[in-house]
Amino acid sequence: MSTLTGISKDALARIVAADILPGSFVNLGIGLPTRISNYLPPDSGVMLHTENGMLGMGPEAANDEIDPDLVNAGKVPVTELPGASYFHHADSFAIMRGGHLDVCVLGAYQVSARGDLANWHTGKPGDIPAVGGAMDLATGARQTFVMMNLLTRDGRPKLVSECNYPLTGLACVTRVYTDLAVFLIQPDRVVVRDLFGVDFSTLTTVLEIPLVDQTQKAAP
Amino acid sequence: MSKVVIVDSALEAVAGIPDGATLLVGGFGSAGQPVALIEALLEGGARELTVVSNNAGNGDHGLAALIRQARVRKIVCSFPRQSDSWHFDAAWRAGAIELELVPQGTLAERIRAAGAGIGAFFTPTGFGTPLADGKETRVIDGRGYLLEYPLRGDVALIAAHKADELGNLIYRKTARNFGPIMAAAAGTTIVQVDDIVPVGALDPEHVVTPCLYVDRVVRVDRNLAMSGDIL
């Protein structure tokens, strides 16, 4: 298979950030999704929730801002913004499970055309399973966005008809942001909203699922 | 029922924890982990412990040290695998420790339920996943749920920022994490704090854990605790 080159991780983070409505309450997963916070405009009023018990999380802490009592879900020292609040773990997960978060953005091993998510365990024997808050987030947020590369390193698609990795949640993903395209997972179809460095017909040969083209075509 | 006991050392605070006890251990990674209490427990010698905690130890201190010394028979946690969880990894690969993996919100809610007198609850988290295997399920208003049971401890070991002399607690930032729910869910709740203040010095509006949940309090200098000199 020829190598496809899409957009960079930072360019993708910028696109996800632009899709988050001002004033939203948002949880950004560990890893790639954390970068989205770099592109949220300061005046957007978006408040970040972190599963370990905080709303109003600020940027990563540097130098003398570092406080061992103030960390994010990845245990990285962070800062607090004016208007922040702290709460215990049961309340923090009630915020998720209770549908009080507008959006969460997670990484994934695989997403199915139905929106099933697999992102917590490779399922390989000998790999230590670790689930953390992934299942609570995927199940509880009003919208679950996934941010990932569309293909594995050896070129296999990660957006599939059926996940063969252990599932995190059923039919929970609403959008998939990848380096090659942005997909909207709708009840009975998968819509392609944006394409990056690849055309629609090539994309249909790369993926083994039916796709609907709704990209904004340039005027003829 | 009984009044809080303020003790002078971490060793005294954890005295009497028997072999085979179930411990609720606070902390999210290192934030809020009662390192001094855990290290005192190492000194105290209890074995065959069941530990309920979000993680399975970081680095070489605290919970990691307890696992390294083979004191933990079983761990109930949500996220055992981390870049610095080498002592758990080695014990797990050697088949020397049992792991019950629980989604983080379910872990928290099971602990909360134990303290709140709830017999069991239905949660949507994990429905349709391998972590639902063997669990009772129910569809409520078209949505699938799993039945989950409370998680009670014989002893809770937690860290708070300040206690007053009655045992009312306040926490600092994200170090609060599991402290308030674990304090309520154990037969005996043991707390390490940065400072102990007179009754009346904490604003009642700011108290997070009321004193009736707390049994023993010890003041710990965390800087000394991290260097291993607290005992």
Quick: pLDDT tens for A165-202.
999 999 999 999 999 999 999 999 999 999 999 999 99
Q: Starting at the edge strand that comes first in sequence, how are the strands of the sheet with A78-86 ordered?
A: A78-86, A54-60, A47-50, A25-28, A103-106, A143-148, A173-178, A181-186, A189-195, A212-213
Residue B198 pLDDT: 98
Which residues of chain B are modeled with pLDDT < 70?
1-2, 224-231
Nearest-by-CA chain A residue for B95: A126
Residues of chain A with pLDDT under 70: 1-2, 217-220
Residues of B in contact with A67 (CB under 8 A): 173
Alpha carbon distances (Å) from B122 to A94, A193, B52, B111, B138: 13, 37, 20, 14, 8
- What's this model's pTM, rounded to 2 decimal places? 0.95
Q: Which stretches of A1-97 are DSSP H helices? A: 9-19, 89-97
User: Chain A within 8 Å of B105 (Cβ-Cβ)?
Assistant: yes
Number of neighbours of residue A7 by Cβ within 10 angstroms: 18
Q: Helices H, strands E: what count in chain B?
A: 7, 12
> What is the CATH number for B72?
3.40.1080.10
Kindly list the residues of chain A whose beta carbon comes within 8 Å of any beta carbon in chain B.
50-54, 67-71, 75, 80, 86-90, 92-94, 96-97, 121, 126, 128-136, 139-140, 166-170
Structure tokens at B65: 């040290």
DSSP-derived 3-state class of residue A80: strand
B130 touches chain A (CB under 8 A): yes
**pLDDT for B81:** 87
Q: For residue B136, what are the domain limits?
A: 5-220
**Residue B176 in contact with partner chain A when CB distance is under 8 A:** yes
Give the pLDDT of residue B104.
98
Q: How many CB pairs under 8 A join A and B?
A: 145
- Record: contact A128-B89, CB cut-off 8 A: yes
Contact residues for A1 (Cβ-Cβ < 8 A; gap 6+): A155, A206
The conformation of residue B164, written as its DSSP 8-state character, comes to E
Search chain B and give the residue with CA nearest A78. Answer: B174
- Total structural domains in chain B? 1
Scan for tokens 């592109």, then name that residue.
Answer: A39
Residues A135, B175: C-beta atoms closer than 8 Å: no
pLDDT for res A210:
97
Angle of CA points A216, A110, B105, to nearest 5°: 110
B15 with B145: CB under 8 angstroms?
A: no
ipTM for the complex shown: 0.94
pLDDT for A2 equals 54
Tell me which residue of A183, A175, A174, A173 sits closest to A203, measured CA to CA: A183
A71: nearest CB among B129, B174, B208: B174
- pLDDT, tens digit (0-9, with 9 covering 90-100), for B153-183: 999 999 999 999 999 999 999 999 999 999 9
Residues 6+ apart with CB under 8 A from B35: B61, B62, B159, B222, B225, B226
Radius of gyration of chain A (CA): 18
Sequence spans of domains, chain A: 9-213
Residue B162 domain flag: yes
Strand pairing partners for B143?
B140
Query: Which CATH number applies to A9-213?
Result: 3.40.1080.10
